[in-house]
Structure 1
Amino acid sequence: MSTAGAPQSSFTARQAMTHVAPDVLLRPLTGSRLHLSQCYRLERGATVLVVANEADLEAWQVCSTCQAELGGHGRQYFDNLERALEAYVPLQARQKVRNLARDVDYDAVWAPNSRSYIALGSDGTAVAYVGKTYWRSGGALTELPGYDSGAGGGPAAAGARQGRECPTCNVLMPVAGGCGTCD
């Protein structure tokens, strides 16, 4: 923390991601809230930040997204893709994800609060997503080993649960029970 009156080094949000510890609060030169360096609300190349001093911590509120992360309810960041793969992706799919990630330009890896997927991000914006059985990048979906597209859930799936025809009146019977017309 800097003392009052001492000059503070300033960083763009992009620089702060590598020059400032991830749990240190920063004050933008323009704006109204304190942020962590990885906050997606900061414009990476345009927002200029300084490390918040004691007066800033008392006078400014913390951005709600950053507050959630400080409280353990926000994004979970990983040092690298390999750590994220170990935490989320089944062993048989990891090599395929590594190969797909080679073609993606990213500078951060995180899981959202739901912990339902991994995101590869560039300048705070996700550019690729990895689920347990899928990879999505540039609008294209790649199935990973173990992918199951499912039966859907629409009318075709409902039809699969219908019973057989009644041999007497040819009405479709329910799955459980007899013919409601003939009985």
Structure 2
Amino acid sequence: MNLLHIDSSIQGDASLSRAMSAAVVSRLRALHPDATVTYRDLAEHPLPHMTLPGFATPEAQAVLEEFVAADVVVIGVPMYNFTISSQLKAWLDHIAIAGKTFRYTEQGPVGLAGDKRVILALSRGGFYSEGPAASMEHAETYLRAILGFMGITAPELVLAEGAALGPEQREAALAGGLEAANRIEPTRAETVA
């Protein structure tokens, strides 16, 4: 099994999404000891944002090949200002490539990456799953849309919410996220949250 591990938080060791993505990868490695893991830290080594000259560069090709070769993709996703980080958006721009991860047909776009298992380790400072702030959540919803466009229609979710609402809530959010990470099944499952 080829596993691609992506982190995008700027918070380093203080990051909940990094802690949860690492826990997911650790769980998957325990379930699949033969797994090969490729790690990419988008905060430490950001990719260039989309430009016309940036397409088809050796770096862009390597990022696409990592994604295409992966059987499982684990993505650490902090929510900043109601959406994903610009570093993660740049990575997605490097992998959403016509003819490689999707194609256009007369009936509309068709995803070409639907054979992948994707697990999102998502952290949020507030509560956005329900209630008055739900309409402002654009991280999970965007990722579900772009991944669905590429054919990945059922990403799994490991979630920590309310991390900015005080130390006790932060610890509770992290504990819940880590517990969900440790319940990841050997193969695709429904959302874990």
Q: Structure 1-normalised TM-score?
A: 0.22
Higher relative contact order (CA 8 A, sep 6+): 2
Task: Indicate the structure with greater helix content.
Answer: 2
Q: Structure 2-normalised TM-score?
A: 0.21
